[in-house]
Amino acid sequence: MENIQEYIESGILEQYALGELSPAEQAAVEAMAARHPAVGEELAQVQQALGIYAEAHAITPPAGLRERVLGNVMTQIAAPATTATPNSSLRADVDAVAQGPRATAAQPTPGEAVVRPFTPAAEAPAPARSMWAMAASVALLLSLGVNALLYSRWKDASSELVALQSEQARFATTTQVVQRQLGELKQENQVLRSDEFKAVALAGTKTAPSAHARVLFNPATHKVFVDVRSLPALPAGKQYQLWALDKGKPIDAGVLTAATATGQGLQSMKDIASAQTFAMTVEPEGGSVNPTLSTMTVVGNI
């Protein structure tokens, strides 16, 4: 028993299944498998595992291949196989019945399609047996039909399940997006409704008289939001930057995103401890440390 296990673990069965062995080695493995059921079983498992691997890589052949290949195979096997049948088959009796008409039918020009009369291979066995056989065949046919039906329903159901699952995943994503947007809106709403926030109107300067924006400033929590109504379009590489002026000293309150600058909603800016005036300037992308006063677009006092 010991050395059987050792034999199995030596990896020779895998080599056999992968076709690495010489004919003599193959014969030795087959003999071992025949003598020891454990070896035979293990070998069958190895072969089956490779079968699974092979089948997992199945590819439906390209269109048209079936007709070409089957057609060629049929012409190749049809003519010569009948004349030279070195048939060691156990069913010599069946062959004897089948071969007679086959040989005569195959005589016309080889390569041409051969029409062969249907030969009832096993004619008239005992009537009782044939009744049973017929009943069994009918039962088998019925069962095959039912199987095919059930199989196709199962497949349909599975496909539908996959479709539903992907649908569900899409819904989940949509819901997430909606939820996030809802959260943003709620926050904006809170800011807009809060009494603690002071609304500071920023009016356009000489450079942009029609510009118009609002800052919402909460002196208690130091929160600052900006709400753009209308600002001139920016040249490439520039961004609006909000400044708080506290006793004349400019403090950076952060840059406006492109969405905010086009008036899509509130944007939360940097916290500002104290300010009397807010203003916006045009700065290089990312903002500046000190405001470029010549580009001041809007300004407003609290």
Partner 1 sequence: MSDTSIISLPPAAEAELVRRLQARDESAMTLFYDRYSAALYGVIFRIVKAEDEAEDVLQEALVKIWHAFASYDPSKGRLFTWVLNICRNLSIDKIRSRQHRVGSRTQGLDDSLTAQRQAAPTEFRPEHIGLQEITKQLVPEQRQIIDLLYFEGFTQSEVAEELNIPLGTVKTRARTAIKVLSKLIR
Enumerate binding residues for partner 1 (CB under 8 A).
Answer: 9, 11, 14-15, 17-20, 30, 43-62, 65-66, 68-70, 72-74, 76-78, 81, 85-91, 94-95, 98, 148, 151, 154-155, 158-159, 162
- Alpha-carbon distance of 298 to 160, in angstroms, equals 58
- Alpha-carbon distance of 74 to 204, in angstroms, equals 88
Q: Where are the alpha helices (DSSP H) in 12-61?
A: 12-17, 23-35, 37-56
Is the Cβ of residue 52 or residue 289 nearer to partner 1 in the bound state?
Answer: 52
- Within 8 A by CB and 6+ apart from 48, the residues are none
Q: How far is the CB of 273 from partner 1 (least distance, A)?
A: 56
Is the Cβ of residue 68 or residue 229 nearer to partner 1 in the bound state?
Answer: 68
Is the Cβ of residue 46 or residue 231 nearer to partner 1 in the bound state?
Answer: 46
Helix axes 65-83, 92-105, angle to 10 degrees: 100
- Alpha-carbon distance of 254 to 266, in angstroms, equals 13
Q: How far is the CB of 6 from partner 1 (least distance, A)?
A: 13
Tokens of 166: 């992907």
Q: How far is the CB of 27 from partner 1 (least distance, A)?
A: 11
Is the Cβ of residue 64 or residue 286 nearer to partner 1 in the bound state?
Answer: 64
Residue with tokens 């904006």: 188
Is the Cβ of residue 3 or residue 89 nearer to partner 1 in the bound state?
Answer: 89
Contact 263, 228 (CB under 8 A): yes
Q: How far is the CB of 104 from partner 1 (least distance, A)?
A: 16
DSSP 125: -
Cα 270 to chain centroid distance, Å, stands at 42
Q: How far is the CB of 156 from partner 1 (least distance, A)?
A: 10
Is the Cβ of residue 118 or residue 286 nearer to partner 1 in the bound state?
Answer: 118
Q: How far is the CB of 47 from partner 1 (least distance, A)?
A: 4
